[in-house]
């Protein structure tokens, strides 16, 4: 299933001109407040009719400005989780949740009410009116409502912004399962939170000021030192794939990446499975000689590819470990003292605990 968006629209002073492709999986729209993320997602949902352009989903034209094609929202079968929850105030939580189920083709696959209730912790709220829910509870109901309409694709506009970290940690794996399960449910996901994006997204579209600033597969965009300022210094970091080798008794697991083995805690996948690791640039230290007596247990030999000096006191360093790319953020002083330069070999020290379970996916 592939979504292709190529639209232009103007609101007063603001002009939106966005072209991107999403080939299944999760596509993240990332950008600052007012960048145009909600507008794009509205156009895909059929709530905004762009001035011109074309939107297609798996070959079906949802909108075409040239031929005046505009498929109404109700026929698009896209589950939209709104930035504001937009629950139906006159319906109970239960009726909100099941609102859309009768319009889906009976054979369409999708989660059951039971699944959604346990995932989102809504069981005790079923008979509650939306006016009596807390902010986060509303958002959860909105998410459940969209899931239960058995959509062909999910559109999520900051669905987790008002949720606490533990709840997010429950929902994120579920979204991954939706993406990876038999449904292969594609998701268009708007978020400000880089860690969510890094964990979930297959494709990353960086929006700024109504324009696409960068787009491409997550691994590429995230490991590109030039994207660091767009993502935020503290949030930049490479995403790499690893194979689970074995679990040890103390909870650490051995994972293999092309450049060597890593010991990480909290890995749920079975041995043999492939998982996604996010390694924050700031969690990677560099050492010119192999250190010992350190609590960090992950030490990889790497080669420096580029040294990208930003405007501040830090530098982003692209590293190659086997076939994988890593990103390290160190001070300029360290660059000078250790004489770090492209082509140089050194050791990357990755704290075992700094790859949190939350950023391990797939």
Ligand X SMILES: Nc1ncnc2c1ncn2[C@@H]1O[C@H](COP(=O)(O)OP(=O)(O)OP(=O)(O)O)[C@@H](O)[C@H]1O
Residues 16-75 that bind other proteins (CB under 8 A): 45-47, 72-74
In the complex, the smallest distance separating the C-beta of residue 138 from other proteins, rounded to whole angstroms, is 11
Q: How far apart are CA 117 and CA 94, in angstroms?
A: 10
Interactions with a second copy, residue window 154-213 (CB under 8 A): 157-158, 161-167, 192, 194
Q: How far apart are CA 214 and CA 227, in angstroms?
A: 8
Q: Which is nearer to ligand X, 37 or 325 (CB)?
A: 37
Interactions with Mg ion, residue window 46-105 (CB under 5 A): 83
Can you tell me which of 78, 221, 279, 316 binds other proteins, judged by CB under 8 A?
78
| Residue 175 structure tokens | 């979204």
Beta sheet of 211-217, edge-to-edge order: 69-70, 60-64, 52-57, 3-11, 14-22, 211-217, 203-208, 26-31, 187-191, 153-157, 78-81
Q: Which is nearer to a second copy, 135 or 271 (CB)?
A: 135
Q: How far apart are CA 314 and CA 336, in angstroms?
A: 11
| Residue 97 structure tokens | 């949740």
Interactions with ligand X, residue window 127-156 (CB under 6 A): 132-137
Q: How far apart are CA 358 and CA 361, in angstroms?
A: 8
Interactions with other proteins, residue window 147-186 (CB under 8 A): 149
In the complex, the smallest distance separating the C-beta of residue 85 from other proteins, rounded to whole angstroms, is 9
In the complex, the smallest distance separating the C-beta of residue 55 from other proteins, rounded to whole angstroms, is 15
129 binds other proteins (CB under 8 A): yes
| Residue 267 structure tokens | 């890995």
**Cβ(191)–Cβ(208) under 8 Å?**
no
Can you tell me which of 90, 123, 234, 274 binds a second copy, judged by CB under 8 A?
234
Residue numbers at the binding site for ligand X (CB under 6 A): 11-12, 14, 31, 33-39, 83, 132-137
């Amino acid at each position: 299933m592939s979504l292709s968006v190529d639209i232009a629209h103007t609101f007063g002073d603001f002009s939106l001109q966005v072209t991107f492709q999403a080939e299944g999986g999760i596509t993240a729209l990332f950008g600052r407040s007012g960048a145009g993320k909600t507008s794009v997602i509205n156009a895909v949902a059929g709530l905004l009719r762009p001035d011109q352009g074309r939107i297609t989903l798996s070959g079906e034209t949802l909108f075409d400005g040239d031929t005046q094609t505009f498929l109404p929202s109700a026929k698009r079968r896209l589950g939209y989780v709104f930035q504001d929850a937009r629950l139906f105030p006159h319906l109970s939580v239960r009726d909100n949740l099941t609102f859309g189920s009768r319009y889906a083709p009976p054979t369409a696959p999708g989660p059951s009410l039971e699944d959604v209730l346990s995932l989102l912790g809504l069981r005790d709220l079923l008979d509650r009116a939306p006016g009596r829910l807390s902010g986060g509870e509303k958002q959860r109901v909105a998410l459940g409502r969209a899931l239960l309409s058995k959509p062909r694709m999910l559109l999520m506009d900051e669905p987790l912004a008002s949720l606490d970290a533990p709840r997010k940690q429950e929902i994120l794996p579920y979204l991954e399962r939706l993406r990876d399960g038999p449904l292969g449910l594609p998701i268009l996901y708007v978020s400000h939170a880089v860690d969510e994006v890094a964990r979930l997204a297959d494709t990353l579209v960086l929006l700024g000021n109504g324009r696409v600033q960068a787009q491409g597969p997550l691994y590429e965009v995230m490991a590109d030192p030039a994207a660091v300022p767009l993502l935020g210094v503290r949030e930049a970091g490479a995403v790499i794939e690893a194979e689970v080798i074995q679990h040890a008794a103390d909870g650490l697991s051995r994972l293999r990446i092309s450049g060597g083995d890593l010991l990480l805690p909290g890995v749920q996948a079975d041995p043999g499975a492939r998982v996604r690791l996010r390694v924050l640039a700031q969690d990677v230290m560099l050492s010119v000689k192999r250190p010992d007596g350190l609590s960090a247990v992950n030490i990889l030999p790497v080669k420096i590819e580029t040294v990208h000096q930003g405007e501040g006191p830090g530098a982003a360093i692209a590293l190659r470990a086997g076939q994988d790319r890593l990103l390290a953020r160190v001070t300029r002083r360290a660059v000078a003292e250790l004489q770090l330069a492209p082509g140089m070999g050194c050791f990357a020290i990755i704290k075992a605990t700094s790859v949190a379970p939350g950023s391990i996916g797939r």
